[in-house]
Structure 1
Amino acid sequence: MSAITIALLTFLCLFLIGGEGHDQVSTNDVSKRNVNLNGIKNLLLAEIQRKIPKDIKGKSRNVRYHLSKVKINKLQLPQSDLRIKRLNPLTVEWTARDGEIKGETNWWFRYKSWLGQYTDQGHVSFSTKRIGFSVTAVLAGNRIRVRNCFSNPPSVDLRIRGRLWSWIYQLVIKDSKNDFRKMLAGSNGLICKSVKSLLNRGGNAVMKLFNNFNG
């Protein structure tokens, strides 16, 4: 393992941890600490916004709905731990919990029954809590490779504003909540996609900067 690779790992850890208010790196093969994510908050938010689908469509019994123009208004960073294994290849395990995202989106639905067909549109505010993930990344050569990532379904709260009857909105809310949870969770959900993109895109940029600095 080269001195540059070890130094690069230290640099990345300081970048994630913020360099203040934490214990020094352990001399053991594995170290674990609280991670300060403030230094990468804007990068993470940008990756989440990049990965959000432009349109979310679904059907609930007699109701078809369409969500569009999803906007994030607030990102509360999760509490995080970082485990560094000085193995060959060098491996980093990152776990996070209790993050939160608040935002809004436009919505449209069509309701069909034997009485006729009704359509409505309006605005939805949403809150997603208990966001967490576990990701393992490997430093291989000049690249950060994500080995695996998993995220449990978070809690989702939706508030719909429109013109028609509230009982129809409850049908839409129930099923669109499930769609939101499925979209966010799992190894291929929005949470893991955003984290993997952050490591692949932002991480490689940091590695390139460091290598250039070292000639």
Structure 2
Amino acid sequence: MSASRILVVDDEPQIQRFLKPALTAAGFDTVEALTGAEALKAVATQAPDLVILDLGLPDMDGKDIIANLRGWSDVPIIILSARDRESEKIAALDLGADDYVEKPFGIGELTARIRTALRHRGRTDSVPGPIRADGLLIDPVKRIVSRDDQALHLTPKEYDLLTLLARHAGRVVTHRTLLTSVWGPAHADDLHYLRVFVGQLRQKIERNPTEPHIVRTEPGVGYRFVSDQDYCIIP
């Protein structure tokens, strides 16, 4: 099997010098781009399996690149940026980025998130199989949710919320995406509403709802479902 090709879009020479050997050692091929224009051309001509994208580029904002790519490509995108404002994360994720890693970063965490994004590529376009997480079993085909072989009784909204998160296992799903997908556009800003439902859901699916292992909070941004195979991405 050929190595996955990773496009690194960053105009900082030290980042490029660090990432290329690190990603090669992790088993990936790398392609470099220093500008947004180079990045768009590379995605079109070199067909990378995943894009690592800095938001601060010399010719355009990284969010504009995400918006452009999502018009014609489903390539996974991981933001790697020093911008730590919640609004930047939310905007990038809502535009279609798959994950967000802040600089400075650990290569172990980054490669784990890369593997997660590659593993789940295309999951939302196919009928998902059973998903397991810390004794929880979600079978979207049979519409069954159980813990340790005991059926759980979820309300329709709780079930929709859980399965939406599970279909994007390992990825951050923003508050707005969850609210608009489960409750509709009229509830896009009802953050308290979402928190109440997540709390109710955790009471049913988590072993210890006060220390959740399955539905993790990404402060100010959204939530992340961590399945058994994705557990390594978050300590």
TM-score of the aligned structures, taking structure 2 as reference length:
0.25
Which has the higher Rg, Structure 1 or Structure 2? 1
Q: Write 1 or 2 for the structure with the bigger share of strand.
A: 1
Which structure is richer in relative contact order (CA contacts within 8 A, separation 6 or more)? 1
Q: Write 1 or 2 for the structure with the bigger share of helix.
A: 2
